[in-house]
Every structure is written in C-alpha cells, then in structure tokens.
A and B are shown apart, each in its own frame.
Chain A
Amino acid sequence: MQDQYTELQKRLRKFRERRKRIEFLQGLLLFLAVAAAVWAVLPAVYSIAPRDTVFRWLVSLSSASLLIYFGWRQVILPLYRWVFQRHVPPLDKVALEIGSRFPEIKDEFSNALQIVQEAESQSESEKALAWAAFWQTAQKVAPIPFENSLSLTRLKQHALMLAASAAVLVVLLSFFPTAYQNTAMMWVRPWQVPPSKQLTLNVTPGHVEVLRGSSLTVTVEVPETRVRSIALTAMYQNGKVKETLPLFSRTPNRFEYRFENINEPFEYRINADELISETYRVTLIDPPDVRDLQLTVKPPRYTRLPEQKLEPNVGNVQVLAGSRIHLQVQTNKPVDFAAVVFAQRDTLFLEQDNSGYIGEFRASRDDSYFIHLKDDRGLTNPNPIEYRIKTIADQPPVVEIVFPGQDVDIDESMAVMLGIMGEDDYGFSRLLLKYTVHRGGPYPMQDSGQVKVPFRVENGQLRAEFDWDLTELDLLPEDVVEYRAVVYDNDAISGPKKAESSIFRLRFPSIQEIFAEAAQQQEEAEETFSEMLEKSREIQENLDHVLREIRRNKELSWEEKQALKEELKEQQEMLRELEEVKQKIDEMVDKLERNDLLALETLKKYQELQQLLEEIATPELKKMIEAMNRALENVDPRLVQKALEEMQFSQEEFLNSLERTINMLKQLQAEQKLEEALKLAEEMLRQQEQINQSLEQNPDSASLQQLAHQERQLQEELNHLNRTLEELQKSKQETPQLPLPEEPVREAQTLAQSEQLKKDIQRAREMMQQGQPQQAKNAGKRVSGQLQQMQQWLSRAQQMMQQNQRAELMRQLRRGARNVLQLSKREEALSQQTRRLNASSPKYRNIADQQQDLLSATRRVTQQLFELTRNNFFVPHELGRKLGESLQHMQNAIRQLEERRSSQASSEQRKAMQALNGAAAQLRQAMQSLNNAQGGMGMSQFMQQLKGISDKQQGINQQTQSMGQSGQLSLQQQAALSRLAAQQEALRKSLQQLQKEFGNRKEILGSLDQIAEDMKKVAEEMRQKSISRELIRRQQRILSRLLDAQKSVHQRELSRKRKAETGKTYIGLDPGQLPSNLGETEFKIHQDLLRALRENYARDYKELIQKYFEALTREKRKNGSNF
C-alpha cells in the first residue's frame, strides 16, 4: 500500500515537473513570438517619428516594457517556479488538478492524499482507515495515465506564433536590414539618432588633397528630399578654429560649397538637420611659388644716382631707360628651375645662390614679366603675377641765353658777355656756343664755328657766364654773327641729347655807318634849325609890324588877329619840331657814346647843346604864346599890346638861342668830323695790320680771296675818309671860330688823297687775288705805314684842338681866380674901413652899399664858376662851398652894418675875405691839375690814373701769388715781399692822393676808402713776411673793387647827362592786361618737370607727374596761351 502511495506521489511529481516545463516553454515561445512581433513592427513604429527623441524614447520604453513584462511573466516566473519551487504546488494540489482533468476522480485523489498525510499523526486505526481509503482511490487512479494529461496544444500554438512572427521578422530584416539596424540603435539608444542614418549623406570628394591656393567644391547629396537645414563645418588648426559655412542648393537634394584659394589644411563635415556626416580631411599640396621678390634698380652710371632698393615684393618698376634691374627671388620650396619670362624679350633663367634665385637684366624699353617656377613634381607656380616695367626716357635738356637775351650791336671791345642757363634731369656733358658769321660785302660769305663754353652745375641747373671774345672772328663792319647755345646732356645710354637756345644776332656796325647816321641827323637838325630861324625872323617881323599897328591904331582888325593867331600856331609848331629834333639828337649822342666814338670833350659839348635846346623852348616863351592867344580873344587892345611886347622879348631870346644852337651844332659837326676821320684812320690801320698779320701766316687761296675782299673794303673806307676830311675842311670854313689846327689836317688829307696810297691798296688787293701773298704783304706794309702817318696827323690835330680848348679853360680859370682875388682885396679894404667906423659914423650906409655891390659881384662870379664847376672835373667842388661861405658872410656883414655894429661887421667881412681866398686857392689847384694833365680832361685823367693803379695792383697780386704758390719763402722771396709791401703802400698813397685831388666825391669814388683800408692791411701783412690765403683774397678784392670802380665811374659818366633831368609828360601805351600766365613759361613747365622727376617720389607718382606735365603742356598749347 505504501508503495502504491509512493508510486502515486512519484507520478504526481512527474506530472508537476512536466507541467512546469510546459508552462516555461509556452511562456518562452510566447515571449519570443511577442518579441519577434514587436521587433517586426518596431521599425514601422519608429518610422512614424524616427528623429523625434521623445517618440523614440516612448517607443523604446513601451516596447521594452512589453518585452520585460512578457519575459517576466512568461519566461522568468515559470522558470523560477520550475527551478526554485520544485515542491510547489503540493501534491494534493496537483492531485486536485488531475481530479479536475478526470471527472471520475474528481477530488478523491486529492482527498485520499490529504487523509494519508493527516493520518501520519493519528492513530493507527485512523491510519488504517486512511490507508484503506487511499487504497480504494489508488485503485481507481492508478490506471489513469494522468501524467500524459497535460496538453501541448498551447505550446504548439505558441510555437506557431513564434514561427510566424519570426518568419515575418526575418523577412523584414532581410529586406530592411538598415532599418532594423537603426531600429536596434534607436531602441538601445533612443537619445541618439540611429547611426545608420549617417550613411544617408553622400559627401564628395570626402578626404582629398588639393594644391595650395586652389579651390575645392564639396558636394553633398541627401536622400531625404526634405532637409530643414544643412551646413558645412570647416575645422582649422586641429579643430581650434571652426567655421560654419552655408551650402548652396543646386538641386533639392544636392548641395555644394566652394572653397577658394585654400591655403591651410582643414577638416570638414556636413550637418544636415540632426544628421552629421563623417569628418573628412583636406590636405594641402604646395605648388612652387615666389615667397619674396626683391628688386634693386641700378640707374645708369652717368646719372650718378644711387642704387635704389625697392620695397620687398614690389615688382612693377619705373626706371630710367638703361637702368639695370637686379632680381632676388625666394621660393616656398626648392624648385628645379626659376626664370623671368618677359613679354618682349628672351626668358632670363635665374641662378641659385644662398639667398635664393638671382638674376639681372637691363631695362631699355617698356615691357612686362613674370616669375616662372617649376618643382620636381612638375608643378609650376600658379597664376604668376605679371609685373610692368616702365622706362622713362632721359628728358632732353633746355638751354636759354638769358643775357643779353636779345639782338645787340657789338661795340669796339669786340666782346660780349653772355649769360646762359640750362636745365636737365641728370646733368650735362658739354655746352657749346655755335655761331655763324654772315659777312657782308660784295661776296657774302658765311663762317661757322663753335666755342666750348665752361659751365658749372648747381642744383641741377647749368650756369655759365661767358665773356665771348669775338676778336678771333675778325669781324668787319656790317658783319652779323648769329649765335645760339647748344647744350648736351650726359645720357650715355641713348646718346647725349641736345637742346638749342633761341638764336640771337650780334651786329658790328661800321664807323662810317654810325657817323653817317649822326651826320645826317645833325644836318637835318641844322636844316630844321635854319628853317626855324628863318621862320622866326618872319614871325619877329610880323610881330613888330602888328605891334606898330596896334600902337598906331590902338585896334586890331579881325584879319590881323587871324594872321597873328596863325603866327602863334606856327611858333607852337616850331616848338614841337624842336622837341623832335632834340629827341633825335639825344638818340644820336647815345649811339655814338655806346660805340665810344665820342671824345669826352665832344660829349660834353653835346650835353651843352642839349641843354641849350632845352633852354630854347623856355616855359616863359610857351607861357607868352598862351598869354598871346588869350589876349587875342580879348577885345582890349592894351592887353594884346602888352602880350605882344612881352612876346617880342621872348621871341628875341628864342632867336638868339637858335643862332647859338646852330653855331654850336656847326662847331660840333666839325669836331665830330675830325673825330670821325681819326676813328676811320685808326680803324683802317687796324684792319690793314690785321690783313698783314694774316698774310704772314701763309694763307691758302680762299683766305687770300677773303683778305682781298677786306682790302677792297679798305679802299672804300679810304674814299669815305677823303670825303670826311673834305667836309672837315668845309666845316672849318663855315665855323672860323673852331680851333682846328690847319697843318695836321692838311697833311692827313694830302696822305689820304695821295695816289701812292691808292695804288698800294690796289696792288695789295691784286696780289692777294693772284695768290701772291709776299707781294701783297709788301704792299700791305706800305699801306700800313701811310695809314699810320695819317692817323698820327689826325691824332695830332685832335690833340692840338684839345690843347686849344684847354687853353680856353685855363683862361676862364685864370679869369675866375683873378676876379675872386680882386673881390678878396676889395673885401679886405672894406673890412678895414668898417673897423675904423664909430657908432655914430654917417658912412655906414655907404659901406653897406659897397658891401652890397661886392655881394652882387661875388654872386656873378659864383654863377660863372658854378657853370665851370658843373662841366669840369678839374674844378674841385670845395670851391663852391668856399664861395657860398663868402656870400653868407657878406650878407651877415650887411646886416651888422645896418645895425651899426662895426666890429661884428668887420669880422664877417674878414671871414668873407678868407673864404674868397680859400676859393682862389681851389682855383689855383684846379689850374695846377689842368697843367699837369697830359691828355684828355677831368674825368679821363681820373680814369687813367685809376686804371694805372689797377694795373699796378694786378702786378703786385700776380707777384704775391707766385710767391705764395712756391711754399716756404726763401730769404730772397722775403726780401721781394718787403719790396712788394712798399709798392702796395705806395699804391695806397697814390689812391689817397687821387681821392684828395678829385675831392671828396663819394658819389663818384664809391668805396675807394675801403680799398685804401684793404691796401693798408695787405701792406702790413706783407711786411710780416707772410702770405696767407686771406691776404691773397684781400688783394683780389682790392683789384676787383678798383675795376668795379672804373666801370661804375664810366657808367656814371655816361649817365650823368640825363640822370637828374626832370622828366617830361609822356602818355605811354597801356599794355592792356596782365598775361594769363603772369610771366610763367613753357620753359618753366619743362624745368618743373625735370625738377619733379629728380625728387624721390614713388615711381607711380613720377609717372603721374610726367603725364600731368604733358597734359598741361598740351592744354596750354591747345588754348594758345602765350608762354
């Protein structure tokens, strides 16, 4: 019975075990089926909002919850019960479950088991009874195979469910693996976008290598057509610098971004909404390139400009044509070769050195270039910069003759001072003075030549002061020299460029021409004056007639009045003509002066003549004519009579002045004729001697012909001289008062008219024409001899005439001295009488009258001497002061006499006498000076003495300088220097004596005081036997001042006659308006251009400046501005 019980228990346990196993398997299958089903639908669920994180969380959590629930419920719990609750449920419960499966058993089996289990603690009977019950039940149960009563249907169902859901899952998975991959990712990491989504951004080119400086286009293709935002993130410097760049849409799902000029490596990725692409790397490959470019401009050597190192990496250059340009190129990496590729010339390959790649070329014209590099991979430098080479041409120079700057006549000095100025940008090589001599005469010829002119350059400007000696040109009268300055710059590249100044002319007027013109004007003047004289006489007679009529009839008829008005009109017309003549004479004298054709005496006489002409038309006469005109309008005959009487008086003066003028003019004409003859003879002699000298030098045939031409001109000049001498003789007859010595003039005329002279000239000319210089020379020497004699006779004639004039001056001085002494004696006598007067003497009045007479006499003498003083340098001006003092004291004496003060009056008279004695002493000194004078008069003598001093000073200077140049002075030289010091001192005394003799005329002598002071210092230093630089300089200054003083005095003498003459009224021509350029010139524009280009402006500025000036010049020319 026990066994059966155990058997049943065993069977119950088995049932229980099996049931738990089935439950577990069922749960497991169900769980797996549910899981498969969930996973089958999960992608679809996720796809509802895959990028919605919350949704993803929701789906993930709910699906996970579901699976956990099922897993717990269907797998874990059954498993737990199966493994860990092996005795649960108790067997009676298991039996009860079996009873429920089998109706015949029902709960019997469970009850039986319970009774048995309870009987264990009960009595045996009860146990037996329990066992019996159990036995009965066991009999009933035992045959029932309740163990197999467990159904597997559900298990199978679950297996089918699993199979179905798994099959679906597998199918879906095979079709949508990425979706399931993303679903798995989303399910596991709902907070992340499923990684499988990155695969949807198609980025090209991805990882890439690019050339530095090149561009890169990144293209992104996005499967989804709807992208809300997309951007590219570029990361530089290992992600330190990030830059978000927008992409541009080409098509709805295609985006692009272009990187330009990539110069550093970087990484990038694409962000499309929440999607992020892989990070790609862009790596750089560097092509060869120019890292540094350094240009050095080496201007042509002739410009003397320094090398110019341009700013680094400046490749455009503007240089003077011919400049060398040195290049130094540094590259970013070693290259196989580097070259300069020009647009218009061969490529220049650069050489490698330590500093990079170098090369040099000459810029001779405009061009362009670029640097070409190639590395070992064959890569070349991309987009090389093309640089420009702009060459500036060396500007041509400009030159101008600024002085005299006009056509001028050459005077007898045969020298002309030229002032030349020029300008260039880089300097000058030479300055020439080119000339053409246009020779006159019957065979016009042209000689051309050039003279090299020394110059200096200051601040880029050429300056030259050139004293052009024309002596070498052997100019003959009427020859014209055309000259111009030609300057060459120092352009050694394209050759020196030259510029020429304007052409000016020098004309050498002939003496005959000047004299003939003067003579013609004099004749015209004389003729005019003679006509005036004739007319004036008529007017005078008419005036007398009218006056007589007025006195007789006391009334003038209308006709008489009209006639009188006509006379007055003619008189006025005459005055106007007089003015014209005077002006012509002024011009004539001026021309004669300039050509040094007037002796100083003649010049003074001309001044007197001019003064006389000034006085003819006196303001009184003009006033008389006006008064007469007014009177004629008046009806009162007494006024007319009075005006006529006064007019008659002035008219007489006018007549007298005219006669004096005509006489003076005739005398002057005669004197001038003598001067003309002398000058002609001197000139002919000079020319003949010049011809003789040329003949000495064995001239060629052409030169002989030219000399023959000159000889022919000499013949013509001889004819002119003859005519002049004839006219001189005629003048002598017309003006007997002229102190013209007869004999020398006659002798000169005889020589001039001699057949021998004519024959010799003729022979000399023929011999020259026949090419026989020796015979020509012999004849020429004979001609010279005769001309020399003639010149000597004429010179003697002039000297004699001057002596006669000096004698006349001496006579006037003597007379003046005699008069002054007489006045002095009379004053002395009067003084003695005055001293003896007592206060009540009645003789006061008488002595006062005598004093008054003496005063008047002294005034007359003073006036005479004043005139003498005014025109003569021999008369010291101190004389005037002394005479003035005497007049003053005499007036004082008269006043004292009127107040009956005898002693004071006598004192004043003595002072007057002393002043007169002083004046007499001055006159005696003047006579002494006149006696000592060897030639010329006053100023000429002064000039000669000054010249003598200058010459001596020059000699001393030269000797001193020669000693100074020899270094240490020997004893002999020291002795010589002492002698020179003595000479210098003597010269100083001579100068001071000169100053003393000619009075203290500061206005004439200028700075002679300073010269004397310098001489003193020089002499002192010489005595100390030292020659310093200062001494030499001081000596040169002395000489310079002496020469200046001479020139200044000479100039002043020429200007004396007019400088203080009060001007008349002239109405000038109004220039209109100021020129628009206010005196600026195109020359100035060019100058400014050259200056501007010399400045250190940047090349671009220089280019601009040049263009500006060119435009300016064009504009000015276009507008026709007068530069």
Chain B
Amino acid sequence: MRRLTIGKVAALVVLLMFSETVAQDAWNSSRFVIARIKYRGGGDWYNDPSIIPNMMRFMNANTNLKCAVEERHVELMDDALFTYPVLFITGHGRIRFSDEEAARLRLYLTSGGFLYADDDYGMDKYFRAEMKKVFPEKRWVELPFKHDIFHILYKFPNGVPKIHEHDGGPGKAYGLFHEGRMVVFYTYNTNISDGWADPDVHHDPEEVRQKAFQMGANIILYALTR
C-alpha cells in the first residue's frame, strides 16, 4: 500500500471539510428558515436572538416540516429577500422603511411572500404607519376566531393566545389581505414571539411558552400552505 504524503492528507482533509460545508449548505438550503427583517429607524430589530431557533426546533419536533435551526437576517433591499417564504419583524420602537423598501416589501408580499409581525410593545404605531406606506389602500382586518390561522394545526378557539401582558386585555390579531390572500399577519398586545425565547429570558410558565410555540407553528403552516 502506498504511503500517503502530508500534502495528500492535507488535501484530503480540505476536501472533506469542503464537502462537509457544501453538504451542510445543501442540507440547510433544503430546509425552511424564517428571515428576520433588519430595518432602520432605531428600533431593536435584533431582540431576543433565541426565539427563531427555538421556534424552528419546535417545528422540527412537532411537525413534518424540516426547519433549519437558525435565524437569518435580511434587509428589504437585499437580493436574497425573495428567497425567504416567510419574513418576521418585531421590536419595541421606531421602524422606518424608505420608499424603495416599502415598494420592495409590497412587491414581495404581492408576489406570494408572507410577513409575520409581532409587536414587542411600542412597535405598533410605527409599524402601522410604515405598513401604510407599503399598502396605502389596505386596512387592517381583525381576524375572527374561526379563521384558519387559529385552527390549522393547534386549536385556539378564542383567537390569538395571550403571552405577555403589555396593555392588558386580550391580544389582537390582524391581517392585511391582497387579492383574497392574507399577506401580513400582525399580533398585537400579546407578543407571541417573546414566548419562543429561552425560558430564563422572560421566565414565562411552560404552558404559556407552549401556547406561543403552537401559535407560531400555526402561523408558519398557514403561511406556507395558503
């Protein structure tokens, strides 16, 4: 048997590493992933980095959907925007879409994309104003409890579950529709995505977290199947 030289071994190792990377990329690219919108305006678009990976874990464990346990960030003018079937936006403060960004988001949403927005307290008025830029002609519609998004996998007979207290009272779920299809799902005064965070972040009881994950699963499945 011929002896392997150091150079050959190194080349083999590099090749294996490359193969591993390619395989990993291929594996990830074939899996569903949510992209978080990196917006401008000063608001904390980045908050709670654990939420999306946790949600993806839940999806892998409880549904047939294969999800990449990671979070992607995307700016609205990025080329990759249209590669994500579902976008997610959250924050506490100001959001600012330039006119170009608003137009691009409109194009994304009217071309089959889906946006899930979750008010982390304080985002509401900015988000609504910016979405008015995106769809000046549309109005938010409060979703009835019998809407499919509350029943597609897990049953929420009383509408969107209450995760965080915020302003008190029941949480609200709104939709923006385009040609009969809901393109934006917006949860307000509940903060579903906070319920996806690691347990030691908000110290939510496990049953509350589970509700948040289940609602999250409904949102993702709805977005992918409608």
Contacts and interface: CB of A to CB of B under 8 A. Distances in A.
Interface of A: 400, 402-405, 419, 421, 458, 461, 463, 583, 586, 590, 1002-1003, 1006, 1041, 1043-1045, 1047-1048, 1051-1052, 1054-1055, 1058-1075, 1078-1081, 1083-1084, 1087-1088
A1063 B171 contact: yes
A1062 B202 contact: yes
Interface residues of B, number: 56
Contacts of A1069: 170
B164 A1060 contact: yes
B118 to A, nearest CB: 12
B31 interface: no
Interface stretch (B16-24, B76-84, B203-211): B203-211
Interface string B82-121: 0000000000111000010000000000000000000011
Interface in B141-197: 141-147, 158-159, 162-172, 175-177, 180, 190-191, 194
Given A421-B132, A1006-B42, A1065-B162, A1079 B122 contact: no
A1058 B165 contact: yes
A1008 to B, nearest CB: 11
B138 interface: yes
Contacts of B139: 1079-1081
Nearest to A1082: B137
B141 to A, nearest CB: 5
Given A1006-B44, A1052-B122, A1060-B202, A1067 B136 contact: no
Contacts of A1055: 92, 120-122
A404 B144 contact: no
- What are the 7 tightest A-B residue pairs by CB atom distance, in nearest-first order? A1044-B42, A1068-B170, A1063-B162, A1084-B137, A1078-B177, A1066-B170, A1051-B93
Contact of B42 (A1041, A1075, A1084): A1041
B129 interface: yes
A1070 B194 CA distance: 24
A1048 B162 contact: no
A751 B76 CA distance: 60
A971 to B, nearest CB: 39
A670 to B, nearest CB: 27
Q: Which of B147, B170, B175, B176 has the most CB of A within 10 A?
A: B170
A1087 B133 CA distance: 14
Given A1063-B166, A1072-B144, A1045 B42 contact: yes
A1047 B144 contact: no
A1060 B99 contact: no
B222 interface: no
Nearest to A1087: B137
Contact of A403 (B132, B138, B180): B132
Given A461-B136, A463-B99, A1074-B144, A1062 B208 contact: yes
B121 to A, nearest CB: 4
Contacts of A421: 132, 136
A590 B121 CA distance: 13
A1087 B92 CA distance: 33
Given A1074-B143, A1074-B147, A1063 B164 contact: yes
B163 A1059 contact: no
A1088 B177 CA distance: 16
15 contacts: A402-B136, A405-B132, A419-B132, A590-B167, A1047-B94, A1048-B44, A1059-B166, A1063-B190, A1064-B165, A1066-B170, A1074-B147, A1075-B141, A1079-B140, A1081-B137, A1081-B138
Nearest to A1061: B165
B187 to A, nearest CB: 12
Contacts, number: 151
A1067 B159 CA distance: 9
Contacts of B46: 1002
Contact of B93 (A590, A1048, A1075): A1048
Contact of A1047 (B42, B167, B170, B208): B42
A1062 B44 contact: no
A1074 B137 CA distance: 17
Given A1058-B167, A1087-B137, A1070 B99 contact: no
A1060 B166 CA distance: 8
B169 to A, nearest CB: 6
B125 interface: yes
Contacts of B191: 1059, 1063
A1059 B147 CA distance: 27
Contacts of B93: 1047-1048, 1051-1052
Given A1006-B42, A1061-B165, A1066-B170, 9 more contacts: A402-B136, A586-B167, A1051-B92, A1052-B93, A1058-B164, A1064-B165, A1067-B170, A1073-B144, A1079-B141
A596 to B, nearest CB: 16
Q: Is the interface of A mostly helix, strand, loop or mixed?
A: mixed
Contacts of A1054: 122
A1084 to B, nearest CB: 4
Contact of B158 (A463, A1045, A1068, A1080): A1068
B129 A403 contact: yes
Given A1052-B92, A1079-B139, A1071 B132 contact: no
Contacts of A1058: 121, 164-167
Given A402-B132, A1041-B42, A1059-B166, A1068 B138 contact: no
Contact of A1068 (B41, B122, B159): B159
Given A1052-B92, A1078-B141, A1063 B208 contact: yes
Given A1055-B122, A1062-B163, A1003 B137 contact: no
Given A402-B136, A421-B136, A1054-B122, A1044 B144 contact: no
A1072 B143 CA distance: 8
B99 A1071 contact: no
B47 interface: yes
Q: Which of B176, B177, B190 has the most CB of A within 10 A?
A: B177
Nearest to A1085: B137
Contacts of A1047: 42, 93-94
Given A463-B99, A1081-B139, A1063 B132 contact: no
Contacts of B175: 1079
Given A1058-B165, A1068-B158, A1044 B136 contact: no
A1070 B42 contact: no
B164 A1068 contact: no
A1080 B169 contact: no
B164 to A, nearest CB: 5
A866 to B, nearest CB: 13
A1071 B141 CA distance: 9
